[in-house]
Amino acid sequence: MKLCRNSVALVGAVLISWVLYGPVGSHSEPLGMNWGDISRQPLPPEIVVRMLKDNGITRVKLFDADYNTLKALVGSGIEVMVAAPNDLLSRLASSEKAAHEWVKENVTRYTFPGGVNIKYVAVGNEPFLIAYNGTYQNVTFPALKNIQKALSDAGYAGKIFATVPFNADVLCGAQVPECIVPSGGVFRPDIAELMASITASLNQTGAPFCLNIYPFLSLALSQGFPLDYAFFGNSSLVDSGSNAVYHNVFDASYDTLVQALTRAGFPNMHIIIGEVGWPTDGDGHATIAYAQKFNNQVMTHLSEKKGTPLRPNQEFDVYLFGLLDENLKSIDPGSFERHWGIFYYDGQPKYPLDFSGQGLSNVFPKAAVDVKYLEKKYCVVNVNAIIDPDLLAKNVDYACQRTDCSALQPGGSCYILDDNIKASYAFNNYYQFNYQDMYACNFDGLAIITSTNPSPSDTQCQFQIGLNYRPKTASGVGNSATTFTAFVLVILVSSFLHF
């Protein structure tokens, strides 16, 4: 697809994942967090829930309705958005019975007194991506209506709300040159009527409307995109249609959505930002320093409650993306996909982040506690072996096809290291992925096990110790919300301009 130029480069290159609730100014929601677990050795849900509570995170957005995750949330008081993934949409659309069964199994099951505080049900995830070629276009709205009816029939009307998280490519389109600025925002022409119907249905039930924003992608994938505009810097871009001044892509994207909703007849829908964040590895712009800067600026921006030119002096509702790094996510969009976490894979914070928005520079999020690691052992290249470069490369390829080598890719934290250290990094990840099985550190005699941490002291590149957990479900190998988002951007970014 081709998105509109300028500020929808700010919407499109960003690809927003926002959630809209009720009337403007009627909500004052605490900070939320996206929790994905596409990892080889994911932290047990009970440890993650404790970490959320320790950090004062009282809202969480999930990408499925995993039993173990929801069981850990029982009694926590944390507000939850559960999800029915895209592969269920056809079944949910074709059968009211299937929708009732899904609600019974994934909602009612947990909503006993003192159970899980489920507030939203996400029906699918970004189903109208142009890259899906209309796969879910005819089933999303019927699935939504069936889930809405099932929730109502179960007694949840006005208590638990069904929504559809959309990608920002539901906005504008190449046929709408007015979308060069936020004041020209509309829904994409080929789905405008369908979007209006869905939005009307959401509005009727009081449900949110969801859409995702990633300024990082605008910067990383659009040559010449102004650095300050991706952050909350000193850029000043004027909307020629309204004369409003925008200082960052965040506000411009938000107002493009506001205008699209207004033109569709829903000017007062409350907007929640379903995903916003910054990765820390796998790309030249994906650094800990930039992530710290961006996420702290987001927190400050939210705390100031200045709103946007189209909705001044209002509070934002936000779900940060994401909680933990996920080392099994697809890297087709870019190696950064596995590094969106505010915390590393083991629940250790990466950088200071002041959730209060007061801008304190030395406040770290609280780490996960009682984490169980494997032994302090590493698999590295045996420097005493006779090393054939071709054989070494072959074994590195073998390891990287079966583990996470995203940090070794161009722009990654380990990319600049010498070949032996990079090979050691790949070997060690494979060894840890296989729970330190001695046979997973052979590599044709080129590797050896050591208890000495081989991490270089002068780089961000760090050798990891695996976690001593085995996934209880298949949820750790599913697909995440932002994977395809970034993939679409890789394809489309060349068409994005700035206003």
Q: What is the pLDDT of residues 328-378, one digit of tens each?
A: 998 988 999 999 999 999 999 999 999 988 878 889 999 999 999 999 999
Parallel, antiparallel, or unpaired for β 378-381 and 32-34?
Answer: unpaired
Question: Given this model, what pLDDT does residue 497 score?
Answer: 31
CB atoms inside a 10 Å sphere around CB 423? 24
Question: Given this model, what pLDDT does residue 400 score?
Answer: 97
Give CA–CA dist 61/228, Å, rounded: 29
Question: Given this model, what pLDDT does residue 217 score?
Answer: 87
Q: Is 378 helix (H, G, I), strand (E, B) or coil?
A: strand
**pLDDT higher than threshold 50 for residue 280:** yes
Based on the residue annotation, tell me whether 275 is a catalytic residue of this protein.
yes
Question: Given this model, what pLDDT does residue 204 score?
Answer: 95
- Range scoring the smallest mean pLDDT among 407-421, 425-439, 474-488: 474-488
Q: Which domains does the chain have, with CATH numbers?
A: 6-369+477-495 (3.20.20.80), 378-466 (no CATH)
Which of the residues 79, 101, 105, 275 is marked catalytic?
275
DSSP secondary structure letters along 57-76: --EEE-SS--HHHHHHHTTS
**pLDDT higher than threshold 60 for residue 46:** yes
Band (211; pLDDT cuts 50, 70, 90)? confident
Band (209; pLDDT cuts 50, 70, 90)? confident
Contacts 24+ apart (CB under 8 A), 290-296: 290/216, 291/342, 291/350, 291/351, 292/350, 292/351, 292/352, 292/353, 293/231, 294/215, 294/216, 294/230, 294/231, 295/320, 295/342, 295/353, 296/352, 296/353, 296/354, 296/359
The rounded Cα 269 to chain-centroid distance in angstroms is: 23
Residue bearing the bigger pLDDT, 218 or 109: 109
Give CA–CA dist 347/251, Å, rounded: 31
- Please state whether the predicted TM-score (pTM) of the whole model is above 0.85: yes
Q: Give the pLDDT confidence of 116-132 residue by residue, as tens digits.
A: 999 999 999 889 988 89
Closest to 10 in 3D by CA, of 300, 320, 411, 308: 308
Q: Give the pLDDT confidence of 154-174 residue by residue, as tens digits.
A: 999 999 999 998 888 888 877
**pLDDT higher than threshold 70 for residue 254:** yes
Q: What average pLDDT does the segment 308-317 reach?
A: 91
Q: Give the pLDDT confidence of 282-298 residue by residue, as tens digits.
A: 999 999 999 999 999 99
Band (214; pLDDT cuts 50, 70, 90)? confident
Contacts 24+ apart (CB under 8 A), 225-233: 225/9, 225/13, 225/496, 225/498, 226/498, 229/10, 229/498, 230/294, 231/293, 231/294, 231/297, 232/297, 232/298, 232/300, 232/301
Give CA–CA dist 413/410, Å, rounded: 9
Q: What average pLDDT does the segment 309-338 reach?
A: 92
Which of the residues 29, 46, 126, 375 is marked catalytic?
126
Question: Given this model, what pLDDT does residue 218 score?
Answer: 85
**pLDDT higher than threshold 60 for residue 78:** yes
Closest to 318 in 3D by CA, of 46, 51, 27: 27
CB atoms inside a 10 Å sphere around CB 114? 8
Q: What average pLDDT does the segment 426-431 reach?
A: 98
- Range scoring the smallest mean pLDDT among 162-166, 174-178, 317-321, 420-424: 174-178
Question: Given this model, what pLDDT does residue 200 score?
Answer: 96
Band (29; pLDDT cuts 50, 70, 90)? low
Q: Give the pLDDT confidence of 463-487 residue by residue, as tens digits.
A: 999 999 987 654 433 334 443 443 3
**pLDDT higher than threshold 60 for residue 255:** yes
**pLDDT higher than threshold 90 for residue 112:** yes
Q: Where are the alpha helices (DSSP H) in 401-458?
A: 419-433
Question: Given this model, what pLDDT does residue 221 score?
Answer: 79
Q: Number of H helices and number of E strands within the chain? A: 14, 12
Question: Given this model, what pLDDT does residue 457 score?
Answer: 84
Q: 20 forms bridges with which residues in the sheet? A: 271
Question: Given this model, what pLDDT does residue 243 score?
Answer: 95
Based on the residue annotation, tell me whether 126 is a catalytic residue of this protein.
yes
Closest to 326 in 3D by CA, of 129, 471, 130: 471
Residues in the chain: 499
